[in-house]
Structure 1
Amino acid sequence: MRVVIAEDSAVLRAGLVEVLVDRDHEVVSAVGDAETLLAAVAEHRPDVTVIDIRMPPTYTDEGLRAAVRLRSEMPEVGVLVFSQYIETRYTDQLLAGRTGGIGYLLKERVADVDEFIDALERIAVGGTALDPEVVRQWLGAGRRTDSLAALSPREYAVLALMAEGRTNSAVAQRLSVSDGAVEKHVGNIFAKLGLEKSCADNRRVLAVLRYLEGDT
């Protein structure tokens, strides 16, 4: 992957660079503020960006606003918001508008480096990686509707784990069921959400976006 990092902490920024380079990824730019981030992405057109929320000059939501702008202006670039904060003010804009290539992870809840790299690689190829606590707070802010009511409790649980970016095997492990059972639930989810087979659309990502947007 070609990666741009935006993190105001010099120590953490250097650590992220080292982790990625050690795993043979290319960090084309590592910056400490949102404006420089936007310029770096425009120049290098990376596969994915890693963006902290609170950066200079006000240390409030500069990074999140930059992420929303990147999603709008450069949709081919994957975006991972990687922060210790959950900010819901711009989450609608961040998660809506296109399918996949998006993640929002909390620094203190990433268990190990491999988990972080796996999430970043998924985002770079158009997948999702969403911390369940981010999803919970976003839905709790009033975005959830009854449009997913057709799903059974188990199907909803499967879809929630899909939103975290987990594979069918990982979902099966988490729910202590067989891979075949998960495949059946996923098929039911697609059917109930009206997501027909299409070579142009990733139904898995579309289902996750329906879950997040509550819009069937």
Structure 2
Amino acid sequence: MRVIVADDSLLLREGLVRLLREAGLGVVGQAGNPDDLVALVADARPDVALVDIRMPPTHTDEGVRAAARIRARFPDVGVLLLSQYVDTSGVVRALSREPESFGYLLKDRIADLDELTEAVKRVAAGEPFIDPEVVQRLLGRRRTADALETLTRREREVLALMAEGRSNESITQRLGVGDKTVETHVRNIFIKLGLEPDPEGHRRVLAVLAYLQA
């Protein structure tokens, strides 16, 4: 697997490179600003680019905008955003455009090699990944959508795990329940959110977006 690391902090970049190589992943380049990142992606064509949300010159949303440029020009390249803080607005906008191969991980969790490796591999495999801690913080916020308020406690737990990018099989293992039970919860979530059957299978993504936006 080929990975690019983009962060204006040289210390953090070097730390990420070391961790990724310890996990057996190949780092093919580093960038300290958005323009260098996009140019490096064009040249190296990695499987995944790890991108800090806040990059020079203003340290606001340059990373998110660089990620959008990468997704537009190189849709086969996965993007894993890194952030010091929970900043769901930019992530939600990006996910709403192209949720596949897109992830969001808090920086205070990248020292966990298993967590970091799972995030990179899932994004490289074309799956979405949302940091579990981000999901848990979102769970504590007041929901404004009446439809979400109708979900049971267990259905909210299932939807939170869906928001992490987990499959039904993974949710079954995490909750310790049967396959049919999880399927029933997912079906109930779709019904309560008013998501009709979709031949392209977008209901899962729409349910997660509704959850994150609320």
**TM-score (norm. length: structure 1):** 0.78
Corresponding residue for 1:115? 115
Corresponding residue for 1:4? 4
| Matched-pair contact (CA < 8 Å) for 2:109–2:116 | no
Amino acid in structure 2 at the alignment position of 1:84: Q
Give the aligned CA root-mean-square deviation in angstroms.
3.1
Determine if the alignment matches structure 1 residue 94 to structure 2 residue 94: yes
CA distance in 2, matches of 1:94, 1:143: 21
| Matched-pair contact (CA < 8 Å) for 1:122–1:128 | yes
Amino acid in structure 1 at the alignment position of 2:18: E
Amino acid in structure 1 at the alignment position of 2:165: G
Amino acid in structure 2 at the alignment position of 1:96: S
* Structural mapping, 1:157-168, within 5 Å: 157-168=157-168
How far does residue 7 in structure 1 lie from its aligned partner after superposition? 1.5
CA distance in 2, matches of 1:23, 1:140: 33
Change (3 A) 1:49 1:142: farther
Determine if the alignment matches structure 1 residue 103 to structure 2 residue 103: yes
Amino acid in structure 2 at the alignment position of 1:76: D
| Matched-pair contact (CA < 8 Å) for 1:55–1:63 | yes
**TM-score (norm. length: structure 2):** 0.79
CA distance in 2, matches of 1:17, 1:162: 29
Q: Calculate percent identity across the aligned residue pairs.
A: 51
Amino acid in structure 1 at the alignment position of 2:85: Y
| Matched-pair contact (CA < 8 Å) for 1:48–1:78 | yes
Corresponding residue for 2:197? 195
CA distance in 1, matches of 2:138, 2:35: 26
Change (3 A) 1:177 1:201: closer
How far does residue 180 in structure 1 lie from its aligned partner after superposition? 4.0
CA distance in 1, matches of 2:129, 2:141: 20
Determine if the alignment matches structure 1 residue 83 to structure 2 residue 79: no
Change (3 A) 1:97 1:24: same
Change (3 A) 1:203 1:122: farther
CA deviation digits over 1:6-48, x for unaligned, max 9?
A: 0122222122222223333222211111111111112222221
* Structural mapping, 1:1-216, within 5 Å: 1-110=1-110, 112-135=112-135, 145-148=145-148, 151-189=151-189, 193-196=195-198, 198=199, 201=201, 204-205=204-205, 207-212=207-212
CA distance in 1, matches of 2:66, 2:141: 22
Unaligned runs of 5+ in 1: none
CA deviation digits over 1:75-134, x for unaligned, max 9?
A: 332111112122344334212112321111112145720121111111112211112453
Counterpart of 1:96 in 2: which secondary structure? helix
Counterpart of 2:80 in 1: which secondary structure? strand
How far does residue 164 in structure 1 lie from its aligned partner after superposition? 0.9
CA distance in 2, matches of 1:169, 1:120: 20
Change (3 A) 1:44 1:205: farther
How far does residue 161 in structure 1 lie from its aligned partner after superposition? 0.8
CA deviation digits over 1:140-168, x for unaligned, max 9?
A: 99996345566544223202111112343
Counterpart of 1:90 in 2: which secondary structure? helix
Counterpart of 2:118 in 1: which secondary structure? helix
| Matched-pair contact (CA < 8 Å) for 2:143–2:149 | no
Unaligned runs of 5+ in 2: none
Amino acid in structure 2 at the alignment position of 1:14: E
CA distance in 2, matches of 1:2, 1:144: 41
